[in-house]
Structure 1
Amino acid sequence: MNAPTGTHSAPASSPAPSASRSSQALIRAEEPVLAHNYHPLPVVVARAEGVWLEDVEGRRYIDMLAGYSALNFGHRHPVLTEAAHRQLDALTLTSRAFHNDRLAGFAERLAALTGQDMVLPMNTGAEAVESAVKLARKWAYDVKGVPRDRATIVVADGNFHGRTTTIVSFSGDPEAREGFGPFTPGFRSVPYNDLAALEAAIDETTAAVLIEPIQGEAGVLIPDEGYLTGVRELTRRANCLFLADEIQSGLGRTGRTLACDHESVRPDLVVLAKALGGGIVPVSAVVGRREVLGVLHPGEHGSTFGGNPLAAAVGTAVLGLLETGEFQRRAAELGEVLREGLTGLVGEGVTAFRSRGLWAGVDVDPSLGTGREISERLMREGVLVKDTHGSTIRLAPPLTITREELEISLAALRKVLG
């Protein structure tokens, strides 16, 4: 399959601007000044183009992580960078104290693409999830009639929705929770992909069910066919909301615009982020039914940068790419290449994998190393990935990747497992 128009080949291996300092020197320089909330791979990226990254010493890598899906369209996609440059010369920020000339068009096109009515623009994924939680509670009190301060939200075990205080309150990840209490009440967690458990947890206080249609951080866990349809039916019968966190799964990643589209399910609210900013600026949004988003009134929720002109301009350019359907098709077609390649590795160092579109969670035989160790070996072969838990790695290349680049990456994985 040919690369989409406007994508790039590997950048030339000329020295990057910061090449006068080695990777190790730059990594050591970070230690005294950066909080240790991440454990990056020991590579210092200086340049990027398309699916290719280049470090400060001129070594090149295929990006098989794509910023956890923030770079669905690759690095510095020309359509997106041109939109950003054009807007930088005109207007970057007004705050929502005033109208700006880019926001309404962005919101109209995002609502149309997702099949929803209204848009609440925000910046980061966690901020958008927090916004969805607030909306669900407000709807429960104003519309459903739940007694004040009694609303509950049902979530799924193994979830990852961010790391703010409220969100880690319903996380099962001890690293995310330990040392950060007291925790926000009002959440019930049930096993993922278990409709019976979900039904048992819903009662008259339930404002919403919040799930990821595919659990990304948990290892790209894909529920049984019919699960999303079942969630939609349960929530409809119980008069509560279905909130879908599509921050990683949405905007083309799985071969459809939204992962929920695989079952033709329309949630009440959908949370979007990452790819919506085109890898240029943070852009997020909650999109949903007018009856839900309409419960907000001025002063009840806000964001200084949410819906700013630069974000709206880049986001509109992202929507233009998705409206063609080209990237959804690429993810579906190249997803078959990815699935075929991983199938050939089962029993050859891979114990199991799960994939949908250009997204896979790969379980490596623990005797061969942890996910971190496998990621470091792949880095030395010129392919960058990231582990999730234990011996599981995730693969999520930009949707602009070519078949040849994908096969190079799979060959590297085969080599490090051999």
Structure 2
Amino acid sequence: MSASVIDLLATEARFGANNYAPIGVVLSRGEGVWVWDTEGNRYLDCLSAYSAVSQGHCHPKILAAMVEQAHRLTLTSRAFHNDQLALFYEEIAALTGSHKVLPMNSGAEAVESAIKSVRKWGYEVKGVPDGEAEIIVCADNFHGRTLGVVGFSTDAETRGHFGPFAPGFKIIPFGDATALEQAITPNTVAFLVEPIQGEAGVIIPPAGYFTEVRELCTANNVMLVLDEIQTGLGRTGKLLAEQHEGIEADVTLLGKALSGGFYPVSAVLSNNDVLGTLRPGQHGSTFGGNPLACAVARAAMRVLVEEGMIENAATQGARFLQGLKDIRANTIREVRGRGLMLAVELHPEAGRARRYCEALQGKGILAKDTHEHTIRIAPPLVITSDQVDWALEQFATVLTQDFS
């Protein structure tokens, strides 16, 4: 490492809270699927900032929209109207088929907003007794890191020493429709779930699971809330992951790729009267729906569709998945994925996934470990066949490497 890199890392360690353990690379530039470190080394980004950079790093059309809007108007708060918000509403509703939109900033804010909204709907529309609303969630979920959200996490590291937590949540196994049916009571207002559990290691539910879930929620007047913050906007080869089973959520949460990595933008989308229960003063955000965010999000959605990124995710995801499955390595326990949301789970005896990610860094690939033995792979949706093939060569070399 050069002295400058050492200095940067030392300064981070001295002043920063120790709440992350990043791979030892200091990045300074990005373009498309590539990023460069401060020493000029190039890497294929196989994380995409947890899918926030799905459109590729520094997409020129999103950048242009951001710069243009930044010259005009950045923030008004929702105390006043701005000329970008209505257009954002119209375009995201047309893209997703939603009826109502609540703009926020981070994914975690979208989750918190949805929790508040479905509880309010439960009390004012469904008739649940005040203070008794229940929301069902899944084990191994990841919906953010706010106090409200970590209270129903099953990850000990996420929950430890942060309590006491808010009541009102039931935890069931992911992918088990019978467990959902048994958990529902007259006080159940919503089922909050990820279509694919990303942080848990790209866990895909059994075929037909969400069809059953949709039927159960409809039959029991329970709002199906799909957290598509990672899976949405093309990541799985469909605009929304729900489309793989032809269902429609009552509430859909989007974030991350909604801004193409330029700015924090999230949204709660509703296809029923859930958001209709909110009245002025009952929920809001100073930055939510600001003109800069709306202009950036509009451009991010536009390039996603116009440049065929969703279709490319399906094509290249299938190529990447098959290529990973073709790697004959004793280290691999399972390869799974949908679109460009992929994972390689290693046998425990192969050691922690972290060392494989560090070895991949040496081969020009940046990927991230999760749950000790799983490597997550999620490159930008603009990746090409040649880039996939090159990446597969590097994965094959590392996954067949003898670390003993």
- The equivalent residue for 1:236 is 218
The CA distance in 1 between the partners of 2:76 and 2:276, in whole Å, is 23
- The equivalent residue for 1:14 is none
Residue 389 of structure 2 aligns to a residue whose secondary structure is helix
Asked whether the 8 Å contact 2:329–2:399 carries over to 1, the reply is no
Q: Report the alpha carbon displacement of residue 21 of structure 1 after superposing the two structures with TM.
A: 4.8
Asked whether the 8 Å contact 2:55–2:304 carries over to 1, the reply is no
Asked whether the 8 Å contact 1:368–1:417 carries over to 2, the reply is no
For normalisation by structure 2, the TM-score amounts to: 0.97
Deviations 1:362-384 (A, max 9, x none): 11233333111111111111100
2:90 equivalent to 1:105: no
2:16 equivalent to 1:28: no
1:176 to 158, 167, 170: 158
Q: Report the alpha carbon displacement of residue 319 of structure 1 after superposing the two structures with TM.
A: 1.5
Cα distance, 1:346–1:224 mapped onto 2, change above 3 Å: farther
Deviates more, 1:108-117 or 1:167-176: 108-117
2:350 equivalent to 1:333: no
Q: Report the alpha carbon displacement of residue 349 of structure 1 after superposing the two structures with TM.
A: 2.8
2:58 equivalent to 1:76: yes
Once the two structures are superposed, the pairs formed by residues 208-219 of structure 1 within 5 Å of their partners are 208-219=190-201
1:250 to 232, 235, 246: 232
- The equivalent residue for 1:188 is 170
Q: Report the alpha carbon displacement of residue 290 of structure 1 after superposing the two structures with TM.
A: 4.1
Percent identity over paired residues:
51
Asked whether the 8 Å contact 1:213–1:244 carries over to 2, the reply is yes
Deviations 1:256-279 (A, max 9, x none): 000001111111100000000110
2:274 equivalent to 1:292: yes
- The equivalent residue for 1:271 is 253
- Residue identity in the other structure for 1:25: D
Residue 287 of structure 1 aligns to a residue whose secondary structure is strand
Q: Report the alpha carbon displacement of residue 351 of structure 1 after superposing the two structures with TM.
A: 1.5
The CA distance in 1 between the partners of 2:363 and 2:7, in whole Å, is 22
Asked whether the 8 Å contact 1:122–1:303 carries over to 2, the reply is yes
1:396 to 372, 375, 378: 378
1:309 to 284, 287, 291: 291
Asked whether the 8 Å contact 2:55–2:381 carries over to 1, the reply is yes
For normalisation by structure 1, the TM-score amounts to: 0.94
Residue 226 of structure 2 aligns to a residue whose secondary structure is strand
Deviates more, 1:34-43 or 1:349-358: 349-358
The CA distance in 1 between the partners of 2:159 and 2:301, in whole Å, is 35
- The equivalent residue for 1:386 is 368
Q: Report the alpha carbon displacement of residue 391 of structure 1 after superposing the two structures with TM.
A: 1.1
Q: Which sections of structure 2, spanning at least 5 residues, go unmatched? A: none
The CA distance in 1 between the partners of 2:103 and 2:2, in whole Å, is 41
Q: Report the alpha carbon displacement of residue 292 of structure 1 after superposing the two structures with TM.
A: 1.1
- The equivalent residue for 1:223 is 205
Asked whether the 8 Å contact 2:5–2:38 carries over to 1, the reply is yes
- Residue identity in the other structure for 1:320: R
2:96 equivalent to 1:114: yes
- The equivalent residue for 1:95 is 77
Q: Report the alpha carbon displacement of residue 25 of structure 1 after superposing the two structures with TM.
A: 2.3
Residue 81 of structure 2 aligns to a residue whose secondary structure is coil
- The equivalent residue for 2:135 is 153
1:197 to 179, 182, 186: 179
2:109 equivalent to 1:127: yes
2:148 to 148, 166, 180: 166
Deviates more, 1:256-265 or 1:315-324: 315-324
Q: Which sections of structure 1, spanning at least 5 residues, go unmatched? A: 1-18
- The equivalent residue for 1:61 is 43
Q: Report the alpha carbon displacement of residue 394 of structure 1 after superposing the two structures with TM.
A: 0.4
Deviates more, 1:118-127 or 1:334-343: 334-343
